[in-house]
Amino acid sequence: MINVTKTYLPPLDDYTAYLEQIWSTAWVTNNGTLVLRLEEQLRHFLNVPHLWYCNNGTIALQFALKALQIQGEVITTPFSYVATASSILWENCQPVFADIDPQTLTIDPQRLESKISPRTRAILATHVFGNPCDVDSIAAIAQKHQLKVIYDAAHCFGVKYRQQSLCNYGDIATLSFHATKLFHTVEGGAVVTQDPHIAQRLYLMRQFGHINDEHFSLGINGKVSELHAAMGLCVFPKVAEFIKIRQQLSQYYHQLLHFDRLDTIVIRPDTDYNYAYYPIIFSSEDQLLRAKKALESQEIMPRRYFYPSLNILPYLTRRDSCPISESVALRVLCLPLYVGLQDTDIEKIAHIINQSLC
């Protein structure tokens, strides 16, 4: 079976070496030496001043909203994973959906600004499939209306925009290190900020709001174990190689697929991309379903990602019309892309898709 992704697992001996260190100290959690080492490596790699490793990317979004003291409406994208919207709801805020740009698939700044009301407090935008949002326009809108900006950068590990990490944009950026990601720690995530005061707030939130016996603020348990950090330390040195391999695989897809009858995402200029996903966009949902069925009959498992458009989730109390996102969500399919995928696999996948377009 060819799945949409495949988790990279390092040589067992490499991971075992870290386990032996953990066993020798019996320090398995509570900001152990491996967690601290991984945090420092990530700060250096991303060239960011403040980064805290936490237990998943969803809690990172919740931390961001809580640290910025957001209450009220949050304008967000309908084209993202459900955690983007559910984090807003979980923090008792109201998501307001602004439609997307049909080429980049990121939130459209003009539509975003039209959604601002007296109750708007923040913008939570997703860099879709690692493709940067229009960060300049969003920053200008936020400054004009005195709004906070959070970026869901779950897909953006290693992505640079204008020669700096995407995590340097916004008041807070969040990352996911889930097992399906380019860089992973099995489960995990991170919050990133330029502001030292926000960084201190986030640090305390992650560990119950206290340092030793001194309590400062409300917090919860967002810490990560040494076992998860050990996986990250094994995977991290391979990231540059992974990006290069995924770029080659993506280019081969692009060479073989019939883009006179298909479409795909347009990567924003000045972006050093990480090739985390390979989405294609069909002309209709029927066409997508036909291709998906043909692939699955050959034990090839693509993913409808993102689907459905978040503005139509059944538990929302507010309905926002987002016709572009609603249309794209019906027609977008992410194809298998991972280290270890063979050229012959891509040839087979492309042939099945091209045949389904006839």
Residues 125 and 148 in one domain: yes
Strand pairing category for 172-176 and 94-97: unpaired
**How long, in residues, is the chain?**
358
Domain boundary among 207, 237, 267: 237
Using alpha carbons, select from 4, 76, 13 the residue that is nearest to residue 234: 13
Give φ, ψ of 108 to 5 degrees: -85, 115
Among candidate residues 192, 215, 237, the one where a domain is terminated: 237
| 145 & 100 share domain | yes
**Cα 317–chain centre separation:** 25
Q: Can you give the pLDDT at residue 27?
A: 97
Total structural domains within the chain? 2
Same domain, 140 and 174: yes
Judgement on whether residues 187 and 90 belong to the same structural domain of the protein: yes
163 and 309 housed in the same domain = no
Tens of pLDDT, residue by residue, the chain (358 residues): 999 999 999 999 999 999 999 999 999 999 999 999 999 999 999 999 999 999 999 999 999 999 999 999 999 999 999 999 999 999 999 999 999 999 999 999 999 999 999 999 999 999 999 999 999 999 999 999 999 999 999 999 999 999 999 999 999 999 999 999 999 999 999 999 999 999 999 999 999 999 999 999 999 999 999 999 999 999 999 999 999 999 999 999 999 999 999 999 999 999 999 999 999 999 999 999 999 999 999 999 999 999 999 999 999 999 899 999 999 999 999 999 999 999 999 999 999 999 999 8
Question: Six-digit token pair at 190?
Answer: 């991170």
If asked whether residues 233 and 244 sit together in one domain, one would say no
Beta sheet of 120-126, edge-to-edge order: 50-54, 189-193, 172-176, 148-152, 120-126, 73-76, 94-97
- Are 53 and 113 contained in the same domain? yes
**164 and 300 in a common domain:** no
Range(s) of the domain holding residue 288: 238-356
Q: How many CB atoms lie within 10 A of CB 128?
A: 26
Cβ–Cβ < 8 Å for 307, 332: yes
Is the same domain home to 225 and 259?
no
Structure pTM?
A: 0.96
Determine which helix (DSSP H) or strand (DSSP E) holds 65, and give its type and residue range. helix 57-67
Select from 203, 237, 271 the last residue of a domain: 237
Token output for 135:
């960060």
Q: With DSSP H G I counted as helix, E B as strand and the rest as coil, what are the percentages for the chain, rounded to 5?
A: 40, 15, 40
Q: So what's the pLDDT on residue 358? A: 81
State residue 350's pLDDT score. 98
Phi, psi of 40 (to 5 degrees): -65, -40
> Please, what is the angle between helix 12-25 and helix 33-46, to 10°?
130
**CATH number of the domain where residue 253 is located:** 3.90.1150.10
Give me the pLDDT at residue 81, please: 97
Which tens digits make up the pLDDT trace of 111-142?
999 999 999 999 999 999 999 999 999 999 99
Neighbour-count burial of 59, counting CB atoms closer than 10 A to its CB (0-12 exposed, 13-18 middle, 19+ buried): buried
Q: Which stretches within 93-236 are classed as H helix?
A: 109-114, 135-145, 196-206, 226-235
**Is the same domain home to 251 and 157?**
no
Task: Give, as one character, the DSSP assignment of residue 303.
Answer: B
Same domain, 308 and 326: yes
CATH number at 34 reads 3.40.640.10
Which residue do the tokens 């923090």 mark?
A: 91
**Do 226 and 247 belong together in one domain?**
no
